[in-house]
A and B are shown apart, each in its own frame.
Chain A
Amino acid sequence: EAGVAQSPRYKIIEKRQSVAFWCNPISGHATLYWYQQILGQGPKLLIQFQNNGVVDDSQLPKDRFSAERLKGVDSTLKIQPAKLEDSAVYLCASSLRQGPYNEQFFGPGTRLTVL
Chain B
Amino acid sequence: GIQVEQSPPDLILQEGANSTLRCNFSDSVNNLQWFHQNPWGQLINLFYIPSGTKQNGRLSATTVATERYSLLYISSSQTTDSGVYFCAVEEYGNKLVFGAGTILRVKS
**Chain A residues within 8 Å of B, Cβ to Cβ:** 31, 33, 35, 41-45, 48, 55-56, 89, 91, 93, 95, 97, 100-106, 108-109, 111
Contacts and interface: CB of A to CB of B under 8 A. Distances in A.
Contact of A103 (B33, B41, B86): B33
Q: Which of B43, B90, B95 has the most CB of A within 10 A?
A: B43
Interface string B1-20: 00010000000000000000
Contacts of A93: 96
Interface residues of B, number: 24
Contacts of A103: 31, 33, 45, 48
Contacts, number: 62
Interface of B: 4, 30-31, 33, 35, 40-43, 45, 48, 50, 86, 88, 90, 93-101
Contacts of A100: 30-31, 50
A64 to B, nearest CB: 21
29 contacts: A31-B94, A35-B96, A42-B98, A42-B100, A42-B101, A43-B43, A44-B98, A48-B93, A48-B94, A55-B94, A56-B93, A91-B43, A93-B96, A97-B94, A100-B31, A101-B31, A102-B31, A102-B90, A103-B45, A103-B48, A104-B88, A106-B35, A106-B42, A106-B45, A108-B40, A108-B41, A109-B41, A109-B42, A109-B43
